[in-house]
Amino acid sequence: LVFSILNLVTVYIFEPEYGVNLYQSRTVIWEGIGRYSLTWEQAFYEFNLMIKYFSTIPLALIFMLTTNPSEFASSLNRIGVSYQISYAVSLALRYIPDIQNQFFAVRQSQQARGIEMSNKAGLTVRAKRSAQVIMPLIFSSLDRIEVISQAMELRRFGKGNKRTWYRARPFKKADIIALIVTVLIVCLGLWLFVVNQGRFYNPFK
């Protein structure tokens, strides 16, 4: 929620007339100072942006929290994605919670040493101290990825054309329905591209 609101405000601050340029019309709601006037076009664009954030970010978080990386990798391989790419996606999904757990552990140890990183400290102080923790974690994770890639090469990973998946599951009726619905949604999106003559619906024509 905070990310979405911050992004919407930032879009208006840096480009308050983007909706006007996008829809090729200008209907003023409130006349501001300089270029900072509120228009229906900008409001409609930011409304669409808000819908996009609130419809994609929660679903992405639910997906991350409820999907087993190995099952997801085997499913990608089942629909034709190379097993090397599928395995890379699986490793990436496994590293995200690992980095989070390491960050929380380091933050707690820092607080035990008297370095305040909780809500008691100011926002700027917390951001600065969190950045000091996050950067070393990212670099250490890159080192671990290098170790894993070397271990996989030593075990001749990627030399064969196929791979056996321990977490593979057979397709069920619900999976086939989900794929059909996904294809229909993609086709609807492509059709709307043609109808709207672009990515955006323009009610100001």
Provide the residue ranges of all domains of the chain, joining segments of one domain with +: 2-65, 68-169, 172-205
Please give the residue that has the higher pLDDT: either 193 or 125.
193
CA distance linking residue 25 with residue 34, whole number of Å: 18
145, 165, 183: which is closest to 68 by C-alpha?
165
Q: What are the tens digits of pLDDT across the range 137-187?
A: 777 777 777 788 788 888 888 777 887 888 787 878 988 898 899 999 999
Q: Torsions phi, psi of 119, nearest 5?
A: -65, -10
Using 50, 70 and 90 to split pLDDT, how confident is the model at 117? low
Q: Exposed, middle or buried, 187 (CB in 10 Å: 0-12/13-18/19+)?
A: exposed
CA distance linking residue 103 with residue 81, whole number of Å: 32
Of the ranges 9-23, 105-119, 127-141, the best mean pLDDT one: 9-23
Using 50, 70 and 90 to split pLDDT, how confident is the model at 119? low
Alpha helices by DSSP H, the chain = 2-14, 18-23, 40-66, 69-78, 83-112, 123-154, 173-196
Distances (CA, A) of 37 to 34, 70, 179: 7, 51, 45
Torsion of CA 29, 30, 31, 33, to 10 degrees: -130
CA distance linking residue 81 with residue 201, whole number of Å: 33
pLDDT at 183: 93
CA distance linking residue 196 with residue 198, whole number of Å: 5
Mean pLDDT over all residues of the chain? 82
Give this prediction's pTM: 0.58
* pLDDT, average across residues 13-17: 88
What are residue 28's DSSP bridge partners? 39
Q: What are the tens digits of pLDDT across the range 88-108?
A: 888 888 777 777 788 788 777
Distance of CA 88 to the CA centre of its chain: 17
CA distance linking residue 49 with residue 70, whole number of Å: 33
